[in-house]
Structure 1
């Protein structure tokens, strides 16, 4: 098959565009310019590509409060959202961020503004969301933000859905709380022993209650011209 060839089988159009190519075209750091997560995601998400799914990404543009900028900063682009809209032909794409991206208009994009520092904020945002098929957490990367989001939003995930947490190797100094169990350690322990261990007994109990709903979990490590590896947690719901 020649590059760029689009064929039809009955009424179904086969779109050969690779997710890494789309990431690079739209300037998403999920492509070759930084993380190269797009190679993993192309394999995981291809079965969903032309289905009417509900997709949520948290964290829509680099340079927010985790990097010392105001939550009320002027936002200029949504590289990953543009990529997802191109990749998923029928998906409803939801975006959640502490900064305002309400200016971006597309009939399949829905924006939710939320400060993830408080769980009740995430809970309120979750009440406005439909049942979700894929969730990606690429927000602040603070451990408690990641854990707040998982506890509130994993129940919104449909059976068979995927919950992904990016950039587990890095936590932002402005947000990270001293002494909290790192999200990477939390899910690595579960992937190895089917048991959550957290230094806060209440949080551990909440994760433990969700454990029977998890059919599988693995830690993906990406290296692309970096001295340190990037880690991604992929959690599949029963």
Structure 2
């Protein structure tokens, strides 16, 4: 059974989650319980798709949806992968996009916002994208631009989130934005 750290070390995924940033160990801890379960994962901000490839290799039975604003991101490598759907040239900070994803009729076990990294966009994600998370699901905001933004971003999450924390990894690689917010939604019937 490969960990995310083992996968990323042995492969060339082209994601910054363990190069520029220090997120892989946190993700290993957060996602291990989902590894062999049937899950739905949404990632906002896919750049060239490195993390989508990583998630696809790691999770044994995942339905993966990516939303990417840049129409030139080169995400065509996923066109023939049945369990990965990309919404390219799509603004995640749009109610039309949220409705489009809601219309799919699925809830997500994991939602990751690695989009614009603007605090107001991260607040939008917390308020609106988090509503598409299943009970007991995990919601992650990556690359918080300043530690002082964490509290207002976390306060924008609905009250159904019972375990919300800031993970400050700035000292690992001396990056100002190596900060994550991780929230777990309170359990209940899915």
TM-score (norm. length: structure 2): 0.83
Aligned twin of 1:58 = 44
Counting only pairs closer than 5 Å after superposition, residues 200-219 of structure 1 correspond to structure 2 as: 207=156, 210-211=158-159, 213-219=160-166
After superposition, the Cα gap between the structure-2 partners of 1:29 and 1:157, relative to the gap in structure 1 and judged at 3 Å, is same
Misfit runs of 4+, over 4 Å: none
SS at match of 2:28: helix
Question: Residue 15 of structure 2: which of 12, 16, 28 is its match?
Answer: 28
Contact 1:135 1:164 in 2 (8 A): yes
Aligned twin of 2:53 = 82
Aligned twin of 2:145 = 169
Whole-angstrom CA distance in 2 between matches of 1:36 and 1:186? 23
Aligned twin of 2:30 = 44
Contact 2:118 2:145 in 1 (8 A): no
Task: For residue 119 of structure 1, report the CA deviation from its aligned partner.
Answer: 3.4
Is 1:116 paired with 2:92? yes
Counting only pairs closer than 5 Å after superposition, residues 97-176 of structure 1 correspond to structure 2 as: 97-100=68-71, 103=76, 104-105=78-79, 106-113=81-88, 114-128=90-104, 130-169=106-145
Whole-angstrom CA distance in 2 between matches of 1:227 and 1:151? 27
Task: For residue 134 of structure 1, report the CA deviation from its aligned partner.
Answer: 0.4
Aligned twin of 1:236 = 184
Whole-angstrom CA distance in 1 between matches of 2:66 and 2:4? 18
After superposition, the Cα gap between the structure-2 partners of 1:30 and 1:85, relative to the gap in structure 1 and judged at 3 Å, is same
Whole-angstrom CA distance in 2 between matches of 1:137 and 1:92? 17
Task: For residue 21 of structure 1, report the CA deviation from its aligned partner.
Answer: 3.1
Whole-angstrom CA distance in 2 between matches of 1:21 and 1:83? 11
Contact 1:217 1:235 in 2 (8 A): yes
Gap regions ≥5 residues in structure 2: none
Task: For residue 58 of structure 1, report the CA deviation from its aligned partner.
Answer: 0.6
Contact 2:67 2:92 in 1 (8 A): no
Query: May I ask how many residue pairs the two structures share in their alignment?
Result: 177
SS at match of 1:27: coil
Task: For residue 153 of structure 1, report the CA deviation from its aligned partner.
Answer: 1.7
After superposition, the Cα gap between the structure-2 partners of 1:52 and 1:221, relative to the gap in structure 1 and judged at 3 Å, is same
SS at match of 2:122: helix
SS at match of 1:53: strand
After superposition, the Cα gap between the structure-2 partners of 1:82 and 1:234, relative to the gap in structure 1 and judged at 3 Å, is same
Q: What do you get for the CA RMSD once the two structures are aligned?
A: 2.1
